[in-house]
Chains A and B, each alone.
Chain A
Amino acid sequence: MSMPSDTDRKPALFGSGDTGFDVNRIKADFPILRQKVNGHRLVYLDSAASSQKPQAVIDALDRYYSQINANIHRGLHTLSEKATAAYENTREHSARFIGGVKPEEIIFTNGATEAINLVASSWGGQNIGEGDEIVITEMEHHANLVPWVILAQRKKAVVKRIPLTPDGQLDLTDIENIVTPRTKLVAVGHMSNVLGTINPVQRLAELAHKNGALILADGAQAAPHMPVDVKQLGVDFYTFSAHKMLGPTGVGVLWARQELLEAMPPYNTGGEMIREVSFETVTWADVPHKFEAGTPNIAGVVAFHEALSYLEAIGMDKIREHAIALTGYAIDSLLKLDRLEIQGPLDPTLRGGAISFTDADIHPHDLSTFLDSRGIAIRAGHHCAQPLMRALGKVATARASLYVYNDEADIDALVDAIKQVRSYFGV
């Protein structure tokens, strides 16, 4: 009953039985990277914003629509059964991917942002009251900040933040006074989208639980780049996003412990999430369906399975090793440039490959526009982390972010172009 698929087909990087990390073979699996941009080879260094997709994922979308498209969980016909099986297959796969949790604990959303909003609205609406405290960090992405600020306003609760050390790690010196028995939730990014910092989620989870609080980790940046085991981390909620990890846009995942999900009220209501409906009463379906009202992004979820397979075929440990090596190379290369400053830890073992930097003389937007003219895609701006920008004393930074298809040649292209930008602007 599974969808017709070449799921078992190995990605091209294993084409000759090689199990090593071969960036050139990986690059070849990403058709978008073959193009020229503004006359230059595309050097894509914006994967922290959204990753590119391998052919296997693109093919899976095509296969879904050309062979099994139908609505899920309701049709009593062959296509609906195939579509449902493929959709549920990704749920099982996602559960395995984050350390072997129960598939019922995986909720599909339209993105990591919605996953966090679901928790804030449903769990927060039920469990946060006046005077309660929600602890976040100074480096949070707006997605893991605004929902808590809004919830706190609505409930007259208090948002406290964990400050940063000068090198962009969490400053835990005063943590015992920040996470206290008044804390109801700690919400922390597993890996910063600006600083690259990998946060000590496990330690914060222990501290939260000691104080009777729960902990949510936003894994949007971590899940694509390192092995994640939510049970080992000890978190209660974990969220991530398919499009940052080779999958389609419009698919996010919320994992939470089953008993939490069972106690939480629905977030959206409508079709699919009910058990029985009359004009007087509604009873809800069991988890996870209680949280998946309406027709979801079926094609995206189905194709996400291929993205996870692709990552696993390389190996998350290998992906992390590659990230450490390439991040180290990038940091060393960038620091050789004069008047260039990197935000966040410089030790690549403490961080991921989102590297924010500022040039003392060139505004990030001018830099980004110039690099684009050389085919190099980076991000410039506040990266949806305005409180962090204020803490760093910057209005904006440039950010190059790395992934499995990047190599030292990409870093060299970036560094060469930055060298040219100064003479271009005559500073």
Chain B
Amino acid sequence: MNDILDEMYRDIILDHYRSPRGKKLIDHADISSTGQNPSCGDEIAMQVTLDDGTVKDIHVGCTGCAISVASGSMLAEFVKGKSFEEVKKVAEVVKKMLKGEEIPDSDELGDIDALKGVRQFPVRIKCALLAWMTLIEGIQNFEKQKKAGPETVTTTEEDEQNAATDQ
């Protein structure tokens, strides 16, 4: 009876929504990044600690709908121990998946694969993307500023988020 709805709100999604991972605050942040979905008011803030070029720890604080919270939680779970390149690569895969494009073998995606159901709800795609776009923006700014000097950067990425979902 709720086929399409259940496709989006899968058990894995609802589990992440009810008990989001990455809630624990972290002491030291190498990257801080915030993002908003202006149209729905979802807000996300994340801090990342690095260890030799990989994500050592991450805190994700998200105020929003089930999809944006679950997506942020999945991101927190996924990125620990991953390099920037790996994070960027999976963010691209998430984008493609939400656009309904074919994606390669999804074994390594784990829970993230459950976000697939969101693509049948076009207005909710930006909810699923919020965490990923926010982290990528944070990483890109970190890389830019690293060349210039300072260690910690703060960024907002509304525009990037809009650009990504307007397509």
Contact = CB atoms under 8 A, between A and B. Distances in A.
Interface residues of B, number: 22
Interface in B1-23: 1-2, 4-5, 8-9, 14, 17-18
On chain A, which size bracket covers the interface?
20 to 34
A31 to B, nearest CB: 25
A369 interface: yes
Most buried by B among A39, A365, A381, A425: A365
A370 interface: yes
B41 A366 contact: no
A396 B64 CA distance: 9
Contacts of B18: 425-427
Contacts of B124: 365, 369
B4 A373 contact: yes
Q: Is the interface of A mostly helix, strand, loop or mixed?
A: mixed
A292 to B, nearest CB: 33
A426 B40 contact: no
Most buried by A among B2, B14, B41, B66: B41
A279 interface: no
B42 A395 contact: yes
Contacts of A425: 9, 14, 17-18, 66
Contacts of B63: 395
A73 interface: no
Interface in A26-75: 38-39
Contacts of A394: 41
A161 interface: no
Interface string B16-51: 011000000000000000000001111100000000
A363 interface: yes
A381 B9 contact: no
A131 B80 CA distance: 55
A372 to B, nearest CB: 9
Interface of B: 1-2, 4-5, 8-9, 14, 17-18, 39-43, 63-67, 121, 124, 127
B9 A363 contact: no
A389 interface: yes
Contact of A363 (B5, B14, B64, B121): B64
Given A363-B64, A365-B127, A395 B41 contact: yes
Interface of A: 38-39, 363-366, 369-370, 373, 380-382, 389, 394-396, 424-427
Contacts of B64: 363, 395
B114 to A, nearest CB: 15
Given A369-B124, A424-B9, A427-B18, A395 B4 contact: no
Contact of A381 (B1, B4, B14, B40): B40
Nearest to A420: B2
Contact of A369 (B1, B39, B41, B121): B121
B65 to A, nearest CB: 4
Most buried by A among B39, B65, B121, B127: B65
B119 to A, nearest CB: 14
17 contacts: A363-B64, A364-B40, A365-B67, A365-B127, A366-B9, A366-B65, A366-B66, A366-B67, A369-B124, A373-B4, A381-B39, A381-B41, A394-B41, A396-B40, A396-B41, A425-B14, A426-B18
Contacts of A373: 2, 4-5
A261 B40 CA distance: 39
A363 B66 contact: yes
A381 B127 CA distance: 13
A373 B3 CA distance: 9
B41 A382 contact: yes
Given A363-B65, A369-B8, A369-B124, A426 B14 contact: yes
A370 B14 contact: no
A356 B87 CA distance: 39
Contacts of A382: 39-41
A126 B67 CA distance: 49
Nearest to A365: B65
B118 to A, nearest CB: 10
Contacts of B2: 373, 424
A373 B121 CA distance: 11
Contacts of B41: 381-382, 389, 394-396
Contact of B5 (A364, A370, A380): A370
Nearest to A395: B41
B136 to A, nearest CB: 23
Contacts of A389: 41
B6 to A, nearest CB: 9
A365 B9 contact: no
B40 A365 contact: yes
A364 B65 CA distance: 7
A393 to B, nearest CB: 11
A373 B120 CA distance: 13
Given A365-B124, A373-B2, 8 more contacts: A363-B65, A363-B66, A373-B5, A382-B40, A395-B41, A395-B42, A424-B2, A426-B18
